[in-house]
Chains A and B, each alone.
Chain A
């Protein structure tokens, strides 16, 4: 066996292994897509993945949303919130993270501990004080309670994430830049940020996805149906005291996964495109 053939067998086996394991990952999405084509009165009685009767009307029916507002509006609202949130988190969590990871200042340990503490309090008990606070700002029924906190780096998860990545970078990089007359901000913007691309991309992706999924805050702060978002729209299909529209709900669930999936697919190559630190380090 030549070396090349051996390599090919190995990679073939690897592919098979990944695909077999992948089926466990794929099963739910296949089921969901299958369910989205079943008529509502068959979804819970027809056990197979593939529908016996294909019903395309779930998509047209579902797109109508709640009749007075359609899914076009829900998608637009969700996109607005998610894009702004991702932007805010990337810009301001990275500034904060740089300070914690690289700069020396008095009170650093205490502030870091405080930042970590903000992650540990279950959100349900701050719901009402937060509501009262945002109400006093006059922000009810706007996107502000959901978006603005991101511009003030309140999501400590991302700060800590970026801190860990920045601390992983060799220090002599910024030291030599500093000696070359670079300002701290210059080092941050020109050296640190590009070198932590995978972490920054993760921040963009998770901010987007988690805001997309964050049903609870959207439920509380958005009160006019034309401000509603995709997860709110999905919940509106289900009502135990009336008729739940399962088919349309699954159809719109499938649609709601597409932006997230597309975003992930287009960003995934950056997870492995860290800039070769070795070259710079020399």
Chain B
């Protein structure tokens, strides 16, 4: 009996010890003036961000900044969602295209624009894209653009002339046919963009090209009809039927979400779709040379767009709002910080900074592309609400068409229904 009493009292002692100790041991977690900066990134980004933090801390004694870094955007948002739901969100949250879905939890920076946050130094278009319903919610970290990228080494090896930078859809198709005739069996001119995980961007381009943009936030409506969506599915059905993109089961093997799932890197296709800021990551995963070309038809329609690759946003429940805004101002406007951070979070929003030169040949390609395609771009379309769900379901519908489960007509109808459902949700 004695032993038993001993066990239970030991257990109870352990409980008290652990729980009492926990309170005491809790470190920087609760509000103690530390600015918590949550972002996703790896290697280089973590290092240069830390350098910027060190510089800021040395200039502002007493300020402490804790980087809460996750490897990818997926991990980042699960962590941030949980923290926000638990009432313990970080002060600075790095956001992507889903900023609209978080607008309820982000602080409006209007009150600080012009005072703590110097907005004059930032490009108007960058300010514009971070503004939701008249409120400045996100500060752009840098600019990116959708682009097509081709494998120069592979095309030269096949003995085909390199594609011209600007083409119409008709010229583009002819070029794909030419490539098809020269490429070895088992390789294809282009990746089937719709089966890849970021399919909504490519689809978004097509709707802009056709003058039926996906979503207008002011009127909360879409210009995409079932017939308009079907045209997109028909375009790729034609490519697929003619072997210009891989058959669906090959294409679906490559989500193109990263170099390891890329048909371009695996040498299966010669052309794929990317955001410009992804080029350096892709280039680092292959010994072949990669180059940009524009989406077809951009020159005539200005259907391309520039977008912030990421935003810095402030949690509206932050306990250190002023210090946090000051730090963001430092990150985007301070010349020394700019030098440290380079174009890791997207190319700088000012063309004069870009003209000053790039750190690497790959960066230079990005700058050149941004400069050349600037005139073939117009203001970004608003994102369809519920970005993640829209993307995931669009991807599924596209796959149903690609695998022949439904025809393009039914697919077009499902896409139009989906957009309506996302808007009314």
Contacts and interface: CB of A to CB of B under 8 A. Distances in A.
B277 interface: yes
Given A67-B50, A137-B23, A242 B280 contact: yes
A237 interface: yes
B3 A45 contact: no
A244 B85 contact: no
A245 interface: yes
B221 interface: no
A89 to B, nearest CB: 14
A33 interface: no
Nearest to A43: B285
A246 B26 contact: no
Nearest to B6: A185
Interface stretch (A10-18, A20-28, A125-133, A158-166): A125-133
Contacts of A219: 70, 75, 78-79
- How would you classify the secondary structure of chain A's contact residues: helix, strand, loop or mixed? loop
Given A44-B260, A240-B257, A242-B281, A139 B40 contact: no
A114 to B, nearest CB: 18
B375 interface: no
Chain A interface residue bracket vs B: 35 or more
Given A44-B259, A144-B18, A236 B42 contact: yes
B42 A239 contact: yes
Interface stretch (B27-35, B324-332, B404-412): B27-35
B43 interface: yes
Contacts of A236: 42-43, 46, 69-71
Interface of B: 1, 3-4, 7, 14-15, 18-19, 22-23, 25-30, 36, 40-47, 50, 66-73, 75, 78-79, 82-83, 85-88, 257-260, 262, 265-267, 275, 277-278, 280-281, 284-288, 309-310, 344
Given A142-B25, A241-B41, 11 more contacts: A41-B287, A45-B287, A66-B47, A67-B46, A95-B7, A138-B29, A139-B26, A151-B14, A236-B46, A236-B71, A243-B280
14 contacts: A41-B285, A95-B7, A127-B82, A131-B83, A142-B27, A219-B75, A225-B46, A235-B71, A238-B42, A239-B43, A240-B72, A242-B344, A244-B42, A245-B42
